[in-house]
Amino acid sequence: MTDNANVAEAPLLTISGLEVEFPVKGWRRPPFKALKGVSLDILPGETMGLVGESGSGKTTIGRAVLGLAPITAGSITFDGRDTTRLSRTERRALSSDIQVVFQDPYTSLNPAMTIGDILAEPLLTSGIARVAARDRIRELLDQVNLPADAVDRLPREFSGGQRQRVAIARALALRPRLIVCDEPVSALDLSTQARVLDLFIDIQEHTGVAYLFVSHDLSVVRHISHRVAVMYRGEIVETGDAAAVTGAPEHPYTQRLLMAAPVPHPRRQAVRRSERHALLASQRAADAARETVR
Ligand SMILES: Nc1ncnc2c1ncn2[C@@H]1O[C@H](COP(=O)(O)OP(=O)(O)OP(=O)(O)O)[C@@H](O)[C@H]1O
pLDDT tens per residue, range 14-71: 999 999 999 998 888 899 999 999 999 999 999 999 999 899 999 999 999 999 999 9
Taking CA atoms only, the protein residue closest to ligand 1 atom 11 is 34
Cα–Cα distances (Å) from 231 to 34, 53, 183, 214, in that order, read 11, 8, 15, 10
Tell the residue nearest (CA) to atom 30 of ligand 1.
55
pLDDT tens track for 179-202: 999 999 998 998 899 999 999 999
Q: Which residues does 215 contact at the CB level (< 8 Å), separation at least 6? A: 49, 50, 51, 58, 183, 185, 186, 221
What is the C-alpha radius of gyration for the chain, rounded to an integer number of angstroms?
A: 19
Compute the distance from residue 58 Cα to the ligand 1 centre, in Å. 8
Per-residue pLDDT, averaged over 107-131, amounts to 94
Residue 150 pLDDT > 80: yes
Enclosing H/E stretch for 101: strand 98-101
Q: Is the pLDDT of residue 263 over 70?
A: no
Whether the ipTM is more than 0.90: the answer is: yes
> Pocket around ligand 1: residues whose beta carbon is below 6 Å from it?
22, 32, 34, 52, 54-60, 216
Are the beta carbons of 84 and 71 closer than 8 angstroms?
Answer: yes
Pocket test for ligand 1, best of 40, 58, 217 (most atoms within 8 A of CB): 58
Mean pLDDT of the chain: 87
Structure-model confidence comparison of residues 282 and 131, the more confident one: 131
Cα-to-centroid distance, 115 and ligand 1 (Å): 31
Å from CA of 179 to ligand 1 middle: 20
For atom 4 of ligand 1, the residue with the nearest CA is: 22
Q: Where are the domains of the chain?
A: 13-97+179-293, 106-175
**Exposed/middle/buried for residue 95 (C-beta within 10 Å: 0-12, 13-18, 19+):** middle
pLDDT of res. 27: 82
Global pTM?
0.86
Domain 13-97+179-293: give its CATH superfamily.
P-loop containing nucleotide triphosphate hydrolases (3.40.50.300)
Q: Is the pLDDT of residue 130 over 90?
A: yes
Q: Give nearest CA residue, ligand 1 atom 9.
A: 60
Q: How far is the CA of 28 from the centre of ligand 1 (A)?
A: 21
